[in-house]
């Protein structure tokens, strides 16, 4: 899967678990919005839209797109 496909699938409501530097992260959604969560300590960032998640969500100060080559899905 490439980055654009991930964005499209999240926008359609799919949820994903992925790994970055041996840490597990979860992209999820509910009726209130979209979430980017670090699993080990449940640290979560919330967004109104999936686009906001991909633009404003940060892991180690970088967007998912900036880290894409290091992410394992």
Q: What is the pLDDT along the chain (73 residues), one digit of tens a residue?
A: 999 999 999 999 999 999 999 999 999 999 999 999 999 999 999 999 999 999 999 999 999 999 999 999 8
- As given in the structure block, the two tokens for residue 73 are 């899905």
Q: What is the pTM of this model?
A: 0.94
| 67 in Cβ contact with 20 (< 8 Å) | yes
Residue 34's pLDDT is 98
- Give the alpha-carbon dihedral of 48, 16, 66, 4, to 10 degrees: -80
**15 closest CA partner among 26, 2, 3, 1:** 26
Location of structure tokens 């597990």 = 24
Location of structure tokens 């839209």 = 49
Residue 11's pLDDT is 97
């Amino acid at each position: 899967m490439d980055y654009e496909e991930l964005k499209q699938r999240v926008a359609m409501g799919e949820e994903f678990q992925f790994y970055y530097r041996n840490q597990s992260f979860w992209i999820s959604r509910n009726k209130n919005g979209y979430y980017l969560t670090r699993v080990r300590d449940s640290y979560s960032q919330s967004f109104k839209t999936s686009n906001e998640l991909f633009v404003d969500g940060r892991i180690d100060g970088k967007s998912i797109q900036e880290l894409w080559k290091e992410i394992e899905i």
